[in-house]
Structure 1
């Protein structure tokens, strides 16, 4: 199953958007896998152990999928879905030879495909964990200094603890810059690929000396023939084994493995689409429930009443209670909510430290200027 209709001789390189779509396939599959595990873990508590090791679980899944795709089609699982494969570059970037990957190249590709995202996920998790605990770049060191009651280790343990704190501090300082540099380099390669200035879509492809090319219809037919030929040879080898029961068990197991290999890819694709559909469904349902449960804002509190001996409120609300003139440059005392002229209320509060109407205690910091829109 492929998302792209294939044809031609495979000489046209993939578009930028096809490579982006293939690149985003595994993150979507990882999100679907984690979501499925979290749903099943609600009824099967032992699955929480897998959720605690989600990076390792998905690294194993990615290794199995990419290993099979690289062995059969010289491309990753996501690339094969979009009708692409990897080819080793020989000589200059303008070379037209596009040989398939050797066994050594497949192993190196698989190692980087699995190890780099796994290490990146672990570093992100470590950074986010200690960044929340710290209040600044040296938050860990400062926190240790603010706990004098904690027992201070001595000797080698003190040196080890100090070394760990120093390494964590350096990591918290350096990692954001390293992440930004990595993303910037990745963006530069994508931009150059979009401008047709390089055959490499990413720095990893450049490091491996590989480029992503389209799979022609002829290559697909030849790969299918070779796969069927290998399967027939495998079944013929089983027929020559001794014992009818052993032959029947081996044949059933082999045919089951063929069936599983043929339909696993389609099942994974459907699971990604199902996850996206469920995500959209539950998101829209939660938004509807949230909108239905929205309560009207509460009414404002009642204004405090003037006290005897305070400034009386004029009948015209635009008149300042202090100077009895049309209010200009209005300002409000936040402890009571009444508005005055800014010079009037500033002088009064500075002298009496209270609201002139309610006599609530107030300072200069409780005066707020009011601005009226035209």
Structure 2
């Protein structure tokens, strides 16, 4: 049995990486995103006014930074950040490819870049929209139904089955890779037209050599100088990001433990939101109509209908008012604390 399974733990003769190497590099970037997301969430909860916008646009900011990072590594090492971390490179399927320091060909480069950065972004957005629609169904919210909206909901209803089919394809591809039936372990590599191989000693030597920057010739136009300056700036940002991730990757296991289910009680005690102070003399105040102010919705300024409280702040609103506001802004209308639809709590009075 040991002799028969030995080929699963060693690299094949054609310099293919083992299944453990390719799965490890796949999980590396998958661990970076939730770790950073949790750190941003803690910042947003501690100071909503300063970091709330960062939490609201986290997906877009992370995708932009990921595009810069992956573009830098694909151009300089012919590999993504995680692939280069495990000493792998991408080559064209039909051949050995050119040296890693020259980067991929233009077609394979842009395909790889889009599949590495945009596909995870779109998938995260679809999952959030699907979760929001499930919340609407749970709360029995009936919004106007246009033909486009019905097609939209039909697509989202089919998304779980599409996701299941995709995961099955990935599993089959990995199983075929283990037994040497295919040269790619992921459908994304097939779509990009590349495969993974180990870096050679010559590749490592070429990447370690730092070519001197060409002197700016006086004959260069202003546009060329600006383009060179922009390229240098983007490369510097990507390099700083790669250095930060290279240092932070060793702390990912600690961050995963930090917000794991076993440690949630500790996290809640450390990062729980402060209780906002109650309004002063609320019971004694009355508006011009003689109604008590504590029966008025802070959003529509009318008598509350279907009282609903926010778990993040404790304030009470009309259900429809606070639902539409939280759905649009993802925060409490009064305190600015990050809030999701699952934080809405209906209040049922005995006389109701």
Which TM-score tier does this pair reach, normalised by the shorter chain? 0.5 to 0.7
Give the SS at the match of 1:75: coil
Q: What's the offset of the Cα at 1:49?
A: 1.0
Task: Identify the residue that residue 265 of structure 1 maps to in structure 2.
Answer: 242
Cα distance in 1 for residues equivalent to 2:162 and 2:267: 42
Structure-to-structure mapping, 1:225-304, within 5 angstroms: 225=209, 228-229=210-211, 232-234=212-214, 237=215, 264-280=241-257
**1:222 and 2:227 matched:** no
- Which secondary structure state, in structure 2, belongs to the residue aligned with residue 134 of structure 1? helix
Q: Is the 8 A contact 1:11 1:214 kept in 2?
A: no
Deviations 1:31-51 (A, max 9, x none): 222122223332363321121
Judged with a 3 Å threshold, the aligned counterparts in structure 2 of structure 1 residues 213 and 279 are, in CA distance, closer, same or farther, namely closer
Q: TM-score, normalised by structure 1?
A: 0.56
Query: Cα distance, 1:11 vs. partner?
Result: 4.5
Q: Is the 8 A contact 2:16 2:198 kept in 1?
A: yes
Task: Write out aligned runs for 1:156-175 (5 A).
Answer: 161-175=145-159
Q: TM-score, normalised by structure 2?
A: 0.59
Cα distance between partner residues in 1 of 2:67 and 2:184: 23
The answer to whether 1:33 aligns with 2:36 is yes
In 1, distance between residues paired with 2:79 and 2:194?
11
> CA offsets, 1:247-269, max 9 Å, x none?
xxxxxx99999887666434213
Compared with structure 1, are the counterparts of its residues 286 and 172 closer, same or farther at alpha carbon in structure 2 (3 Å cutoff)? closer
Q: How many angstroms does 1:200 deviate by?
A: 1.4
Residue number in structure 2 paired with 1:80: 84
Q: 2:110 aligns with which of 107, 112, 120?
A: 107
Preserved contact between residue 68 and residue 234 of structure 2 (Cα < 8 Å): no
Deviation at 1:130, TM superposition (A): 0.6
* Alpha-carbon separation, structure 1, partners of 2:82 and 2:259: 27
Partner of residue 171, structure 2: 187
Larger CA Rg, structure 1 vs 2: 1
Shift of 1:209: 1.6
Q: What is the Cα deviation at residue 12 of structure 1?
A: 1.2
Q: Is the 8 A contact 2:68 2:238 kept in 1?
A: no
Change (3 A) 1:256 1:69: closer
Matching residue of 1:361:
none
Structure 2: state its 5+ residue gaps: 1-10, 219-229, 269-352
Q: State the shift of 1:270 in Å.
A: 2.7
Q: Please list the CA deviations of residues 135-175 of structure 1 after superposition, one character each: whole Å capped at 9, or x if unmatched.
A: 5xxx97xx64xxxxx9xxxxxxx7xx331452244124311
Q: How many residues were matched structurally?
A: 242
Kindly state the Cα deviation for residue 24 of structure 1 after the two structures are TM-superposed: 1.1
- Secondary structure in 2 matching 1:71: helix
Q: 1:55 matched to which residue of 2?
A: 59
The verdict on how the C-alpha distance between 1:108 and 1:256 changes in structure 2, with shifts beyond 3 A counting, is: closer
For residues 55 and 288 of structure 1, what CA distance do their matches in structure 2 show? 27
Task: Structure 1: state its 5+ residue gaps.
Answer: 1-7, 145-149, 151-157, 242-252, 291-374
1:258 to 1:87, Cα distance in 2 relative to 1, 3 A: closer
Deviation track 1:41-92 (CA, whole Å, cap 9, x = no partner) reads: 32363321121122111111210110000010010011000000100022xx
CA contact (8 A) 1:32 1:271 kept: no
Please report how far the alpha carbon of residue 182 of structure 1 lies from its aligned counterpart in structure 2 after TM superposition: 0.9
> 1-side partners of 2:74 and 2:244: how far apart?
19
SS in 1 for 2:247: helix
2:222 matched residue in structure 1: none
Secondary structure at the counterpart of residue 46 of structure 1: helix
Q: Which has the higher contact order (CA 8 A, sep 6+)?
A: 2
- Separation in 2, partners of 1:220, 1:170: 50
Distance (whole Å) between structure 2 residues aligned to residue 133 and residue 75 of structure 1: 42
Q: Residues of 2 paired with 1:128 and 1:60: CA distance?
A: 24
Aligned-partner Cα distance in 1 for 2:65–2:267? 36
CA-based RMSD: 3.5
